[in-house]
Amino acid sequence: MLNYILRRILLFIPILIGLVTVLFALLNILPGDPARMMAGPFADPDAVETIREQMGFDRPLHVQYLDNIWNLARGQFGRSYQSRRPILSDLIEVFPKTVQLAVAAELISALLGIWLGVVAATRRNGWADRLIMVIAALNLSFPLFWLALMLQILFAVMLRWLPPSGYGGGFDSFIILPAVTLALPSMGLLARIARAALIEITSEDYIRTARAKGLAAALITRRHMLPNALIPIVTVIGTDFVRLLGGTPIIEVIFSWPGLGKYAYDALVFRDLPALQASVLLLALCVSLVTLLVDLLYAFINPRIRYA
């Protein structure tokens, strides 16, 4: 077990090196000169040259690449071209905000999604079930950026119930719109999974037994069905969290949420290689860790899975 975890964590290293390599290659074919970007549009050529030398942009690519890997291996992320601050302190500032957003969204989608799934499954055939499944399918089909725009206009501009964008320090009125937007597609997915899992369990013998001995329907749902259905649901929540992290850049940009996704987007727009690289690595590391946790959880729940 421990061996397996260690091996999986060691596998992160080639993945991260691969990410750096792909990014480095892409960013070096990006049009635009980082030295000129840093110097600003009105700098004279000498100043641009000085920056080029200072930053080492004049060195051969393979030297820059190896230097880059070596710095990352020592935990030196460098300075952002844009903010001129050490990237590590930037990341420490933006990362918790993305975690706040993602956790809030996952909570909303998990609670609402499972509840809707239970309602749909227990009222199978009924209009509530139909309605919930239509809503779930619809939620899975919304383009996230458009949904964000529409919710923003409805609740912030027209109804004036919520602030349109920005960051208010955490779990306050500012987080509601971005978190709900991010949560809606996941909620649809979880409602479907929860419903399917509950329906699957309905045909189990122990449910028939519980029913035969006269237990109330609500009690059967709560005590017998839900705990068993939670097994597939919990693993889906894990993979869903990964999907949700992937959606954060879009939501953060539209709602001006100063998290990791917006940081990475701004870095890309500004051709800020070290900042983009560090934030993509951090996002990827989160994704890899959550995936590992999900796999472990899955093996823990279902001992038939072998560690191959």
Rank residues 65 and 142 by Cβ distance to another protein and give the closer one.
142
Minimum CB–partner distance for residue 218 and another protein (Å): 18
Cβ proximity to another protein, 234 vs 287, nearer residue? 287
Least CB distance from residue 17 to another protein, whole Å? 9
Residue of 185, 238, 259, 274 interacting with another protein (CB under 8 A): 185
Residue 123 CB coordination number (10 Å): 14
Task: Mention every residue, 6+ apart, whose C-beta is less than 8 A from residue 284.
Answer: 15, 16, 19
Name the residue with tokens 């998990």: 110
Nearest-angstrom CA–CA distance, 121 and 270: 49
SS3 of residue 56 by DSSP: coil
What is the distance between the alpha carbons of residues 118 and 192, in angstroms, rounded to a whole number? 10
CB of 145 to another protein, least distance (A): 5
DSSP 225: I
CA pair distance 109, 190, nearest whole angstrom: 7
Task: Confirm or reject binding of residue 114 to another protein (CB under 8 A).
Answer: no
Binding mask 203-242 for another protein (x = CB under 8 A): x---------------------------------------
117, 286 in Cβ contact below 8 A?
Answer: no
Euclidean distance between CA atoms 30 and 242, whole angstroms: 28
Number of residues that bind another protein (CB under 8 A): 53
124-183 positions binding another protein, by CB under 8 A:
124-125, 130, 133, 137-138, 140-147, 149-150, 153, 157
The residue with tokens 């749902």 is 221
Minimum distance, C-beta of residue 207 to another protein, in the bound complex (Å):
13
Positions that interact with another protein (CB under 8 A)? 11, 14-16, 18-19, 22-23, 26-27, 29-31, 124-125, 130, 133, 137-138, 140-147, 149-150, 153, 157, 185, 189, 199, 202-203, 243, 245-247, 249-250, 253, 261, 264-265, 268, 276, 280, 283-284, 287-288
